[in-house]
Structure 1
Amino acid sequence: TYYGLDEIAYKGKRARERSLAGALELIIPLIIAAMTVLNTMRGSVYERKDEIFVYNAVGIAPRYIFAMFFSEAFVYAVVGSVLGYILSQGAGRVLTALGWTGGLNMTFTSVHTIYASLAIMAAVFFSTLFPARAAMQIAMPAEEIGWTLPEPEGDRMSFDLPFTFDPADRIAVLAFFNRYFTDHGEGSSGKFFSGTPAARISDKLDPLAGDGYIPELATTIWLKPFDLGVSQELAISMPTDPATGEFIARITLTRLSGSRESWLRLNTSFVSLIRRHFLYWRAVSPDERKAMFAEARSMLEEQAAKRRIANA
């Protein structure tokens, strides 16, 4: 509604109208803040290269390293927004107390405060994308980010995992996985079904360990969905790595039933579970490792005794 008062025209409305002034003046400070965060995160990535290599060595996927740096930026965004709000509130109270606001009332419960905080967070997130991706590229410098299964030879697939073990852990980890597969046996509702696992001595000798025997754990695995009928024999052996001379984990999968395409597709998630369980081994306490060593040693001695009786 238009009306006049003292020869001045006014436009009246039923509700107050809000307008945002000085938005263009905020662009340059936002760009400066984004560039500051960008340089900070880039410096953090290059300073922590060795740490990223360690993450890669223990099997952490590059996408998790990306999420790690992105979550760090999220902390910066939240802390920056909260500190900015507190500082602005404190400065407003000081200016009001000194009477320097010129009659301007400062309200800190306005929705515009939320808009300003979201703008700061968006600037931080967008400036973190490139450094976080750079960290992911360092962890896996390849065109395809992530770990993929090797090409099988017929119905057999064998590959090494990036985990090393000392002589005692080489034996104890077999009991660790024996419990894991036993928990996925009859009556379980996990992502796969396992037959009864058996610790045994491989028929192959280890030429890098003085032609010593190679301990291994073998079982039969059925992969979900079970209606596809995919089953395989799994063997986890612990040979010597020719590059480092340390004991490593070698996975051998032999297809027993089901189509080849389904076998390859379902093993992607299954092998990821095995890799993840190897990571859990690092969290096992020394006392539990000693108990598992005794357990695995007992299983291997029992199997060796049965072999001697069979060969007698």
Structure 2
Amino acid sequence: MQYIIDQLKNLTSIDSPSGFTGDVTKYTMEQFEKLGYAPYLTKKGCVVCDLGGEGSPLILSAHIDTLGGMVAEIKKNGRLRITNIGGLNANNCETENCRIRTRSGKVFEGTLQMNDPSIHVNGEYSKQNRTFDDMEIVIDEEVKEKKNTEALDICNGDFVCFDPRTTVTESGYIKSRFLDDKLSVAILLGLAKELREKKLRLRRKVYVFITVYEEVGHGACGALPADAEEIISVDMGCIGEGLACDEKMVSICAKDSHGPYDYDVTNDLIRCAEDSKLNFAVDVYPYYGSDADAALAAGYDLKHGLIGAGVYASHGYERSHIDGVGNTLKLLELYIKKE
């Protein structure tokens, strides 16, 4: 568990909005190599790692790309209007610190603020819309007009990366942006570590597939191992009104907004959880899509499933718990190891 938490902290500290994932995939490759595996990168930039086993190949997929922003305009006042990458929502980014990463390699600090954000000056502050057109990145440099910002080499198309603010409480709660889905990547690294250290035997061939464009819809649309017969997305488990899951559970998704998951795969996951008395929930996610969905939409002939540790406040400042991590790790072990 400590290894997983340490990996999560390291992963969230590396900026990686969709389209800007080179640093974090390099780090992830290095971690698999340290564990004694031989990962490789696809042309698209996904990380593939063969964990061993023989027959009926299974892919365990997670994504390492996150939500983020991109400079859409340098305004007359030198501040930045941004466009969101993925489902980043302006409502929960207000006053968040960020980094502007230029194409020339320079990095600048900033904060996302409302236009005219002082309550002592703006009497309409509470009534204003929270959209990216009504907000701006205030750069922490001496910037008064557009030419000052341009002189810093900041351009349209530069990535804007928000602080994750990762913390783990004494009571075991894990709070951070981008638990979706760096928590799952950390869990898969933990699984790979356990397989090596405990010399667990696999009942089938298992690949880990770490994607880099999930948040914009085409993470697992290509370059999957050609012999694969099944894919399980290890992604965040939804928490919200009408759902049974909480942060201490592993969630098994029966259906999301793309449709139901494979009946037999879902039943097998439920049976594993029941037999070992894991703390789990089966839920229907109303507004959700996964890498498994993307793979099927791209034409892959695969059985598919979806599990994940319960994550509260998805696409915002998210929260999970080490018990949810433990239940997810255990379910994966049960599903792949030979009795």
| TM-score normalised per structure 2 | 0.24
Structure that is richer in strand per residue = 2
Structure ranking higher on relative contact order (CA contacts 8 Å, 6+ apart)? 2
| TM-score normalised per structure 1 | 0.26
Q: Considering only CA atoms, is the larger Rg found in Structure 1 or Structure 2?
A: 1
